[in-house]
Amino acid sequence: MKGPFGDAWDRLFAPAVAHRGLWSKSGPPENSLGAFEAACEAGYGIELDVQLSSDGEAMVFHDTKLERLTGAEGRLSDHTAADLGQLKLPGGEETIPTLAETLALVGHRAMVLIELKTPYGEVGPLEQRVHDIIIDHHGPLALIGFNPYSHAWYADRHPGILRGLDSYAYRGPDTARMAPEQRKSFARLEHVAIARPHFLALGLDMLPDARADKYRAEGMPVVAWTTRSPGEWDAVKGCCDNHIFEGFAA
């Protein structure tokens, strides 16, 4: 039965979603057109990351810095889309794609989860550019991301776009810049009230979770990330509706 978001709602539950596309060290690199094509051909959904170039284009790339995947120095946001489109990804001739190029390639063939990498205090430009692109895309998609204020931007302006709030246990060095009380609050999913999402995308480090179970019982699906073996999915699938995976055939 279709929910309020049509095919996007149905395809949130199945098939499983390939993390940064269907990539591997011996195949296409992560977040590349090749990885997205491979996911489409294998019948999976697609998760990808977007952030803005210096001239305001939505680029598909995970890291803040370019070095790990391109060997180039500096931050992605310091380079123009044209310059970024010339940088080679590992293993061949693939370059950093734009979101528009990616959605044109995928079309109706796969559900796409677009993770917005919006820094705190910078909500607006990325959200607007992504919206300008997705309004011309007729395939199933949803927006995800960790920044609850990014979600609030969409909830206030474009409530008809399916969205999922990313969260996890908020432990470790990547949370060092957050205030302790904010980390605890987000780990308790208290930022759901700010984000007003339609579903939750939760890290394995916080599953199972009684608060997530409550939201799920109230009609808010839970998608787990990132499973890297069948056993990891088996351990949480009783409290989840789907999963984002990598490194195995889901």
User: Which residue's structure tokens are 């351990």?
Assistant: 235
CA dihedral 155, 159, 163, 165 (to 10 degrees): 20
Q: Distance between CA atoms of 13 and 55, rounded to whole angstroms?
A: 36
Whether 60 contacts 98, CB under 8 Å: yes
Catalytic residue among 19, 79, 137, 191: 19
Q: What values do phi and psi take at 231, rounded to 5? A: -65, -35
Name the token pair of 172: 């470790």
Q: If residue 82 lies in a helix (H) or strand (E), which one and from where to where?
A: helix 81-84
Nearest to 115 by CA among 204, 234, 244, 228: 244
Name the token pair of 200: 């939750």
Whether 147 contacts 120, CB under 8 Å: yes
Name the token pair of 189: 């999913």
Does the annotation count 191 as an active-site position?
Answer: no
Does the annotation count 62 as an active-site position?
Answer: yes
Whether 242 contacts 12, CB under 8 Å: yes
Radius of gyration of the chain (CA): 17
- Which residues have a catalytic role annotated? 19, 62
